[in-house]
Amino acid sequence: MFTMQSWIFLFLILCSTQSSCSCCDWIRDHYGTLSREYLSLLDEMGGNITKQDVPVFFPESLYRRMEDAQYEVQVRFLNETIHEIFKLFDENMDAVTWEEKKLDDFLILLHRQFQNLKSCVSPATKFKRLKRFFKKLNKKVLVEMNYSAQAWELIRKETKYILEKLDLLVATMH
Ligand SMILES: *[C@@H]1O[C@H](CO)[C@@H](O)[C@H](O)[C@H]1NC(C)=O
Ligand SMILES: *[C@@H]1O[C@H](CO)[C@@H](O)[C@H](O)[C@H]1NC(C)=O
Ligand SMILES: *[C@@H]1O[C@H](CO)[C@@H](O)[C@H](O)[C@H]1NC(C)=O
């Protein structure tokens, strides 16, 4: 005979498993679609991606660790990375020459991806290495190159690279 408490307990368990599962389903079914849309906007909003090298290196070793990490950690990594990209695009963009509508749509869709990931799992780990990378990218590219159009082209190039890496990670996630 179940007591009231055990019913409530059972109910809570069912709820929590269900919410985490709808989240994995969501990532499996929709992450890629959104990603394809914002990546093509990123391509279309300006001219060709610059051939100039970005003077800061993406933390490949952290990324490789993420490929073998637990599902929840991977989701947090996606969440944190997209959040950091978002912060970059919040800097002074007066000099950019990109098509405004496409830039706006790119940011809207990227934000939608972030919103969907944000509450997917409980937040925990902060990825210090990732934070350092974005800080350096901001300093070495945007600040030192005075938020110039050329600096923003490098940011666009690196953003494309990072978002494509996230796609590859998501492809290994189920
Ligand atoms: C852009 O890239 C394409 C394909 O690589 C090339 O044919 C074209 O000339 C480039 N455009 C400019 C403006 O560099
Ligand atoms: C996602 O990132 C935001 C901003 O850093 C944070 O507030 C939130 O807790 C994160 N969510 C997860 C699941 O890591
Ligand atoms: C950025 O601006 C500073 C001060 O205005 C100037 O000294 C520096 O040469 C500029 N750097 C570049 C890369 O244009």
121 close to ligand 2 (CB < 6 Angstrom): yes
- Cβ(51) – ligand 1 distance below 6 Å: no
90 band by pLDDT with thresholds 50, 70 and 90: very high
Amino acid at residue number 145: M
pLDDT in tens, 33-62: 999 999 999 999 999 999 999 999 999 999
Say what the pLDDT of residue 36 is.
97
Shortest-distance Cα residue to atom 3 of ligand 3: 146
pLDDT at 124: 82
Question: What would the pLDDT profile of 133-165 be if each residue is shown by its tens digit?
Answer: 999 999 999 999 999 999 999 999 999 999 999
Going by pLDDT thresholds of 50, 70 and 90, the confidence category of residue 3 is: low
Q: Which residue puts its alpha carbon closest to atom 14 of ligand 1?
A: 48
Residue 1 has pLDDT above 60, yes or no: no
What does the pLDDT read at residue 122? Answer: 83
Q: Ligand 3 centre and the CA of 131: distance in Å?
A: 25
Closest ligand 3 atom to residue 146 Cα is 1
Q: Looking at residue 147, what is its pLDDT? A: 98
pLDDT (0 to 100) of residue 125: 76
The amino acid sitting at 165 is K
Reported pTM: 0.85
- For residue 4, name the pLDDT band (cuts at 50, 70, 90): low
What's residue 15's pLDDT?
A: 43
When mean pLDDT is compared across 3-12, 25-34, 102-111, the lowest value belongs to: 3-12
Tell me, using a 6 A CB cutoff, whether residue 3 lines ligand 1.
no
> For 58-62, which contacts have Cβ atoms below 8 Å and span 24 or more sequence positions?
58/133, 58/158, 58/161, 58/162, 58/165, 59/129, 59/130, 59/132, 59/133, 62/127, 62/129, 62/130
Nearest CA to ligand 2 atom 12: 123
Residue 116 has pLDDT above 60, yes or no: yes
**CB–CB of 44/101 below 8 Å?**
no
